[in-house]
Structure 1
Amino acid sequence: MRLVVLGGGESGVGTAILGKKEGYEVFVSDFGKIKEDYKNVLNQYEIKWEDEQHTEDKILNADVVMKSPGIPEKAPIVKKLLEKGIPVISEIEFTAQFTNAKTIGITGSNGKTTTTMLTYHLLKQAGLNVGLAGNIGKSFAWQVAEENFDVYVLELSSFQLDGCINYKPNIAVITNISPDHLDRYEYKYENYIASKFRITMNQDENDYLIYDNDDEAISNWLQNNKTKAQLIPFSLLEKMKNGAFINNDTMEFSINNEEFAMKTTDISLEGKHNMKNAMAATSVAQLMKIRKETIRESLSNFQGVEHRLEKVLKIQNVQYINDSKATNVNATFFALDSMNVPTVWIVGGVDKGNDYSELMSLVREKVKAIICLGIDNRKIIDAFSDVVDMMVEVDNMRDAVNTAKHIAEKGDNVLLSPACASFDLFQNYEDRGNQFKAAVRNL
């Protein structure tokens, strides 16, 4: 069997290693450059590779192809493979067949990283032999090749789910759905929604689907489509018979006749959206039969995720907050919604077709000044110039942070929550967040 891997990054190299171990003849092809450390790993495993090209006669003779999530379906080489009827699958799909471990698959437009990390934290604190993979850390394939976990918590993007055919998680979580990455879905929101729901397409009556009952796109899909999985909803707005909800200042769970309650003030994460993330993760923990005491402790000592509403420093009584991971409007909505003092907002980058109007009421209520950090800020300026007293344009992080320092007064917040991708001025959102933190520390 010949396995061709398109993309020589984390998921590609992991898949190549697992493929080799399972007896495939493996070839890795990357149209860009493969990083030196990945090349060394491939050489060490004696796996053939190429970069900065796709040699068609070495690719089109594959029995199966694993495509890295970053490569679109429209790529010429992918089109040719599909025309020839060669299966093109994701790392998750390829790997799942080689492990008997339980998997918890978590997807959503926002909140999936926090929910994934919190779920992993809950299971690990309970002493389970658990791995963390998907969009985070070491690839799922690499871990299945080299580790022996009983359970995996997987953060799954819509791109990874698009390449799944038979994969089924024992527990699936959909945190929420809002328009994102529509450039990859023919600008049709329904295509993107359908992609997220692939997470439950193979589930049966022994599996579970945990979801946000307040989310319009999710509710509509569930009214018009069927899943065999047992449904576990969570809600901020109404009481759930079999699920999770907030009752005044208490988070309450009733799942398969097991009750659990905890004061929201005892949970380390702040903000309404984080209450939802906590309900999702705790629902998983309850289905996995984790002790209530362990759940309580874990929810109160969880540290949160880097670049997601991360408190950096307080300087002269101004709190600097790094939310660089907010790469779409919906994520920034949650960030602004959780601000409870006047805020200087740093926003901008590569716009993915953003509609800023849904932020209008929050900006009016909470934002005293806007600092635009991007190469093209026209849409942001058009949207908000009449709403805030002060708007400044900058083209690097140091200027953004210094300007914010001059504008902010005692008791204010300075929030980096860009609502955009980072590729105009930074390598990625981590680089953007790290530059923000470095600039704040240098004030």
Structure 2
Amino acid sequence: MKKRRIVILGGGESGVGTALLAMAKDFDVFVSDKGKIKEKYKNVLINNAIEWEDEKHSEDKILNADIIMKSPGIPDKAPLVKQIREKGITIVSEIEFASKFTNATLVAITGSNGKTTTATLAHHILQQELDVGLAGNIGDSFAKQILENDFENYVLEISSFQLDDIVDFKPKIAVITNITPDHLDRYDYNFDNYIASKFRVTMNQTKDDYLIYDADDEVIVNYLKNNPVQATLLPFSLVKAIENGAYLDKENNIKITIDNTHIIMPTNNLTLEGKHNIKNAMAASTVAHLLKIRKQTIRESLENFQGVEHRLENVLKINKVQYINDSKATNVNATYFALESMSSPTVWIVGGVDKGNNYEELFQFVNEKVKAIICLGADNEKLMSTFGNMVDVIVETQFMGEAVKIAYKMAETGDSVLLSPACASFDLFENYEDRGRQFKDAVRKL
């Protein structure tokens, strides 16, 4: 019998993970990357005798596939992807392909912001009592973990790009943290397309599955009104009492109710600060409650969770000035939460690749809290014209080291220096992690 041929577009973490799993499941595997494949991934492919190419796409080797796994970074508009679709070859994401080879309970977390923190926190709680992996947009690829560990449960952080290429993927528990305009460049600048993409996380769910979502998010609530889903709904809210789900009561306790069982958790000992993190804690705790984790374990886990690198991460205090790394804020809404949580005058480092940003929702915080702005991008024109009249000092630079030195000169005792770019990082940095690490290095060199 002829082996099924899978072609994998993109030789990064998800691509190489998929190649290894497909090889183990007796597929004929070929990996093709238009860019350069990193050495560490090349070595894995070579050591496992998997055929690959980089810096080109050979159409004759790609268009004869039975199935194609494309990296989430490759847009549907790419000419090669159009050709593949015209030929009627099925395109799937790593999440879709890998989920076929596990019977694990899947928790899928998506949203414009908060998904990394929520996924990491949910995993942190669950691993106290369950056999659980953390994958998706985080850490080792889902496919590779299924091959090497096959955990009984997985928490998956999933982007809209990964959801665009699912067919049968069906999580037991889905979480939508929030939906705000992001990545609109990939969705024809149509917010409705992006919203629909996020809701694909629940499209195969039945009434025996759960959808946990932010009931304070008008976009989510309106979508559910007009597009009813099959899953059992468990909303969470900071402002209204919820019968089935989670809410914040008058005493600042999180109350979770599922099938008439209750948990009450005080928020005064949460290690994570800010209203948005109470929401992330609600979502993660609801997941844990559904999976029968003991109340005591949930409480203790919330109180000892250390947070996520590059997400409002306190780096150092120098001359009584706190330096904060929020490089993971790649959109306006994430920066909104960062500025909202600032309690001291702030020198704000912002900028990068603008994804069609509307900065209006930041104006109130900029007026209240920001004393100076440093624009760090290849093109800062929009930022300069948007914020130029709001602060006394606004400067621009293309170098992280220089941005941090300027901030050091501007900041006074009791101030904060916040890197919260509200933009993607690809103009000056490899990714948001690289940007965050360069910021931390520059701060440590002061």
Question: Which TM-score applies when normalising by structure 1?
Answer: 0.98
TM-fit CA distance, 1:257: 1.2
Letter in 2 for 1:271: G
Where 1:340 maps in the other structure, the secondary structure is coil
1:286 alignment counterpart: 289
Of residues 80, 91, 111, the one that matches 1:77 is 80
Deviations 1:169-201 (CA, angstroms, capped at 9, x unpaired): 000000000011111111110000000000000
The residue correspondences of 1:12-411 to structure 2 (distance < 5 A) are 12-125=15-128, 127-248=129-250, 249-411=252-414
Instruction: Report the Cα distance in structure 2 between the residues aligned to 1:112 and 1:333, rounded to whole angstroms.
Output: 16
Deviations 1:226-270 (CA, angstroms, capped at 9, x unpaired): 211100000111110111111132111112212111221111100
Letter in 2 for 1:336: L
Letter in 1 for 2:283: A
Letter in 2 for 1:152: Y
TM-fit CA distance, 1:148: 2.1
Letter in 2 for 1:244: A
TM-fit CA distance, 1:129: 0.7
Instruction: Report the Cα distance in structure 1 between the residues aligned to 2:350 and 2:50, rounded to whole angstroms.
Output: 43
Instruction: Report the Cα distance in structure 1 between the residues aligned to 2:49 and 2:81, rounded to whole angstroms.
Output: 25
Where 1:327 maps in the other structure, the secondary structure is coil
Where 2:412 maps in the other structure, the secondary structure is coil
CA RMSD of aligned residues (A): 0.9
TM-fit CA distance, 1:225: 0.6
Gaps of 5+ in 2: none
Instruction: Report the Cα distance in structure 2 between the residues aligned to 1:442 and 1:6, rounded to whole angstroms.
Output: 40
Deviations 1:187-229 (CA, angstroms, capped at 9, x unpaired): 1100000000000000001100000001111001100012111
Where 1:54 maps in the other structure, the secondary structure is coil
Instruction: Report the Cα distance in structure 2 between the residues aligned to 1:109 and 1:158, rounded to whole angstroms.
Output: 9
Instruction: Report the Cα distance in structure 2 between the residues aligned to 1:85 and 1:154, rounded to whole angstroms.
Output: 29
Instruction: Report the Cα distance in structure 2 between the residues aligned to 1:84 and 1:247, rounded to whole angstroms.
Output: 55
Instruction: Report the Cα distance in structure 1 between the residues aligned to 2:39 and 2:372, rounded to whole angstroms.
Output: 43
Letter in 1 for 2:243: K
Deviations 1:52-77 (CA, angstroms, capped at 9, x unpaired): 11111111111111111011111111
Where 2:127 maps in the other structure, the secondary structure is helix
Letter in 1 for 2:249: N
Letter in 1 for 2:345: P
Gaps of 5+ in 1: none
TM-fit CA distance, 1:7: 0.8
Letter in 1 for 2:154: Y
Instruction: Report the Cα distance in structure 2 between the residues aligned to 1:165 and 1:318, rounded to whole angstroms.
Output: 50
The answer to whether the aligner puts 1:424 opposite 2:427 as a matched pair is yes
Letter in 1 for 2:242: M
Letter in 1 for 2:14: S
Instruction: Report the Cα distance in structure 2 between the residues aligned to 1:375 and 1:78, rounded to whole angstroms.
Output: 29
Where 1:244 maps in the other structure, the secondary structure is strand
Letter in 2 for 1:333: Y
Letter in 1 for 2:350: V
Instruction: Report the Cα distance in structure 2 between the residues aligned to 1:363 and 1:436, rounded to whole angstroms.
Output: 21
Deviations 1:393-432 (CA, angstroms, capped at 9, x unpaired): 2221111111111111111111000111112221111111
Instruction: Report the Cα distance in structure 1 between the residues aligned to 2:296 and 2:386, rounded to whole angstroms.
Output: 48
Letter in 1 for 2:406: T
Letter in 2 for 1:44: N
Runs of 4+ deviating beyond 3 Å:
none
TM-fit CA distance, 1:362: 0.9
Q: Percent identity?
A: 66
Letter in 1 for 2:111: G
Letter in 1 for 2:267: T
